[in-house]
Structure 1
Amino acid sequence: MNFEDKKILIIGMARSGVAAARVLAAMGAEVTIADQKSSLELSEAIAQLQGWAINICPGGYPPISKEKFDLVVTSPGVPMTAQPLREAVAHNIPVWGEIELAARLSKGSIVAITGTNGKTTTTALIGQMFKDAGKKVVVGGNIGLPLIQEVQYTTEEHVLVVEVSSFQLEWVEGFHPKVAVITNITPDHLDRHGSMANYAQVKSRIFSRQTKEDYTVLNYDDPILREMGSICPGRVIFFSREHNLEQGIVSQKGKILVKTGGQILEICREDELKIPGAHNLENALAAVAAGRAMGLTAENLRNTLCTFPGVAHRLEKVAEIKGVTYINDSKGTNPDASIKALEAFSQPLVLIAGGSTKGSDFSAFARKIKERVKHLVVLGQTAEDIIGAVEKVGFKSIHRVQTFPEAVHKASELAEPGEIVLLSPACASYDMFKNYEHRGETFKELVRQLTTNS
């Protein structure tokens, strides 16, 4: 694709925006990058663009017209209602997300994964399956590495395993994965999408450009996805932990099985998986479906499933101190993710929860806290909402704190040998941190300090 001398405006100066600006400038485009944040707030991003022939516009957006720009590329953090995006649409200027741009530049096959929960683990697991099988692999997208940064080096032999968020799917147009995976759909980001119907519709954009030569992997146990299977243009592969499907990837009698054309292929035993929890069994089933669709053998799949340790910030064991285990689940950024985390352990739990709001309902989370949690340490913008929800179900051991270090120290005081201190906030992190990774790393550092002081 030729971008030489094309006038391109990039909205947003986070990781994906900066990466897109550098790639497009290297291809000869006339690049302008803009963000409403101040120069001081954007100092790190601006430093990364020094020496590049890129027009940098902090503190707002330039006027947009057909004469000034041929294309607008937007970062996922920018809502569709933002002024420059509305202006671009009004002037019939194409608007692409960074994922759309990267896909158009890619030469390899794309395996794309989305869903409310489990997409990061599933993406990393699928990527590892291809690596272990000796394939050329790029793993990127919402998982942390901007895809645009890597696609310029891909060949037709590459497999691109891409985590895609609902925000990234808002501005896809020709995005066409060979395999599209949706792990589940539960309420999340309703402050941005407005309703569950809108949220599900955005998620469905992952497969909207597929053909009958492609595959769509869906969770049969999720009613929304089961129904969505009827509108997929590609070949649907269902996976299920709860149903004995005649065709698909199933968990049955403690084994992961592939059932197709009347044949049953055993992949491995469930107890051989290294990643804990029923939700991770679902992630493994989804990964097996994607791997089989792309031609990986049962032996390829089994080898990875039996060795894959999981991902950082998702049920990550940090340390054991005086008989207390500390688990980092900072990736639990919505109630459903944190419910799954609570269900993954049988030991008594001291839970650290709370953060910035995403318009979530904490009722089901509160019921699970009453069932599984011994002590709750709560903080952040959503603290009062969570406290109200748990008090409503009769949970009593609530400890309100103001700072994150205070939360970790309070949890360590409450925990007894044989118990678990679990950080699983059920909320986003932006009231106190840059992102969930920053929150998770801070938790790990505070736990390391406990080790030093013990």
Structure 2
Amino acid sequence: MELKSKKVLVVGAGKSGLAVAHFIVKKGAVAVLADANNPAYPDDQLAELVAEGVELSLGGYPDVKKGSFDLVVMSPGVPLTVEPARAALDNGIPVTGELELAYHFTESPIVAITGTNGKTTTTALIGAIFQDAGISTLVGGNIGLPLVAEVEKYCSNDVIVAEVSSFQLETASSFKPKVGVILNITPDHLDRHGNMDNYIAAKSRIYANQEPGDYIVLNYDDPLTAELGAKSRGETIYFSRRKELENGVFVVEGKIVVKLGGKAEVICGIDDLSIPGAHNLENALAAVAATKVMGINNRSLAATLKNFKGVAHRLEFVAEINGVRYINDSKGTNPDASIKALEAYDEPIVLIAGGKNKGSDFSELAEKIKEKVRVLVVLGQSAELIAEAARARRFENILAAANFKEAVMLASQAARPGNIVLLSPACASWDMFKNFEERGELFRDIVLNIKSYREN
């Protein structure tokens, strides 16, 4: 991809957009960074970009017409329905994204992970496996670090491990990971994709360009994911926690087993894993499959699996206070993620849920609430939707909070020794917070300072 002297419009002035603007200016392009809003940034980031030669168009988009730009780069958080994207497509101007842009400047083999739930944990675990094996590894993408900011620092002997979202994959055209992983597919982001077929199509772009010699790792236990294997031109490796497979990664008698090429090898016991829950066992199986085909030996694999403690905001243990354990699962941003979180614990749960709905149905979550939850605390735009779904299942122990601090305090007051207070909102954070990280960090702060919060 030749960028020198090209005029490029970067749509969306978030973390990804800033990284892209900086990158393409270094490549000799003329960059225009546009955003419908006027974002505020710390540390004079915009001033630095302007000093590098980036033009700003904040608070509105510039006109896009034939000849005005050579390329439009969309940030993943901005839908392709916005005016500059539509106008570019109408006028024959190529539209791409940061993931595709980074791919064109990458020498290293890529292991890319997608799925509705578990992406961040699995990405971090795969990265740790490679790093513990002594391989120079970049871990980035949707996990927080834009790939385009770092890819050129890594060579063909290194590995790039990338979490990729459906939003990023929408604009991928030639992106081709050496190993692709699809963990699961359940309804999410339907407010953006419109329907499940479009959502599945976006996820499937992770392996659309793969060839013989590439690998796609799929969840055998998830029907929507498993059936994608028939469409792969690379080699399909299945993983399953429920069934012993002829070829793949699975569980037998409490052991994680790899069987590739007819030879079965035990990696470690499932009780050796440090991350809780059946869904994290699935994440571990996927990580074993993705790294085993890249040549990681069993001993190194087992050591990392035993030592990996998980990631922040995903079933993160915060504290135990007066016999109550507080768990931060702020990254549980859809009902299926929160169902998996509830299933990870046997103790009575006080659940904090609610936020911005992404087009989700809360009926299955309500069934699990009836089964696992002692007290439900709801808040945010989806509070009444979740409460109504729970009441429809004859669950009545529901408290409504006016704000996030009140929600945590109500949960704390309702909890008894031996209970778990679980923040797993089943919703996005955007009605109250910039992102799920900010939400999780506030939860952590309130819990760790709960005495002073009670007094105030």
Q: Report what 1:390 is aligned to.
A: 390
Q: Report what 2:219 is aligned to.
A: 219
- Report matched runs for 1:30-41 at 5 Å: 30-38=30-38
Superposed displacement of residue 2, structure 1: 3.4
Superposed displacement of residue 448, structure 1: 1.4
Structure 1 contact 333–428 (Cα < 8 Å) conserved: yes
Structure 1 residue runs without a partner (length 5+): none
Equivalent residue letter for 2:205: R
Q: Report what 1:443 is aligned to.
A: 443
Q: Report what 1:350 is aligned to.
A: 350
Q: Report what 2:421 is aligned to.
A: 421
Aligned-CA RMSD value: 1.4
Distance across 1 between alignment mates of 2:453 and 2:60:
47
Structure 2 contact 13–39 (Cα < 8 Å) conserved: no
Structure 2 residue runs without a partner (length 5+): none
Are 1:71 and 2:94 matched, yes or no? no
Q: Deviations over 1:174-197 (max 9, x none)?
A: 101000000000000011111111
Distance across 2 between alignment mates of 1:157 and 1:3:
26
Taking a change above 3 Å as real, the CA distance of residues 130 and 451 of structure 1, as seen in their structure-2 partners, is farther
Structure 1 contact 14–45 (Cα < 8 Å) conserved: no
Superposed displacement of residue 373, structure 1: 0.3
Q: Report what 1:13 is aligned to.
A: 13
What SS does the aligned partner of 1:320 have?
A: strand
Distance across 2 between alignment mates of 1:425 and 1:58:
32
What SS does the aligned partner of 2:282 have?
A: helix
Q: Report what 2:202 is aligned to.
A: 202
Taking a change above 3 Å as real, the CA distance of residues 442 and 453 of structure 1, as seen in their structure-2 partners, is closer
Structure 1 contact 321–451 (Cα < 8 Å) conserved: no
Q: Report what 2:290 is aligned to.
A: 290
What SS does the aligned partner of 1:28 have?
A: coil
Q: Report what 2:232 is aligned to.
A: 232
What SS does the aligned partner of 2:51 have?
A: coil
Equivalent residue letter for 1:287: A
Distance across 1 between alignment mates of 2:445 and 2:48:
27
Q: Deviations over 1:298-345 (max 9, x none)?
A: 112101000000000000000111111100000000000000000000
Taking a change above 3 Å as real, the CA distance of residues 48 and 280 of structure 1, as seen in their structure-2 partners, is farther
Equivalent residue letter for 1:73: V
Q: Report what 2:91 is aligned to.
A: 91
Are 1:136 and 2:157 matched, yes or no? no
Q: Report what 1:302 is aligned to.
A: 302
Distance across 2 between alignment mates of 1:16 and 1:251:
39
Q: Report what 1:266 is aligned to.
A: 266
Distance across 2 between alignment mates of 1:430 and 1:190:
16
Are 1:314 and 2:314 matched, yes or no? yes
Q: % of aligned pairs identical?
A: 56
Q: Deviations over 1:53-102 (max 9, x none)?
A: 00000011111134221111110011111110011111111111100001
Q: Which runs of 4+ in 1 moved over 6 A?
A: 41-44
Superposed displacement of residue 262, structure 1: 2.5
Q: Report what 1:25 is aligned to.
A: 25
What SS does the aligned partner of 1:51 have?
A: helix
Taking a change above 3 Å as real, the CA distance of residues 406 and 39 of structure 1, as seen in their structure-2 partners, is closer
Superposed displacement of residue 40, structure 1: 5.6
Taking a change above 3 Å as real, the CA distance of residues 58 and 94 of structure 1, as seen in their structure-2 partners, is same
- Report matched runs for 1:112-261 at 5 Å: 112-261=112-261
- Report matched runs for 1:353-368 at 5 Å: 353-368=353-368
Superposed displacement of residue 38, structure 1: 2.6
Superposed displacement of residue 46, structure 1: 2.6
Distance across 1 between alignment mates of 2:277 and 2:82:
39
Distance across 1 between alignment mates of 2:411 and 2:318:
14
Distance across 1 between alignment mates of 2:374 and 2:45:
43
Q: Report what 2:327 is aligned to.
A: 327
What SS does the aligned partner of 2:359 have?
A: coil
Distance across 1 between alignment mates of 2:151 and 2:204:
24
Are 1:410 and 2:410 matched, yes or no? yes
Superposed displacement of residue 260, structure 1: 2.2
Structure 2 contact 113–182 (Cα < 8 Å) conserved: yes
Taking a change above 3 Å as real, the CA distance of residues 241 and 44 of structure 1, as seen in their structure-2 partners, is farther
Are 1:46 and 2:46 matched, yes or no? yes
Equivalent residue letter for 2:100: E
- Report matched runs for 1:371-390 at 5 Å: 371-390=371-390
Q: Report what 1:102 is aligned to.
A: 102
Structure 1 contact 113–164 (Cα < 8 Å) conserved: yes
Taking a change above 3 Å as real, the CA distance of residues 437 and 430 of structure 1, as seen in their structure-2 partners, is same
Equivalenced residues, count? 454
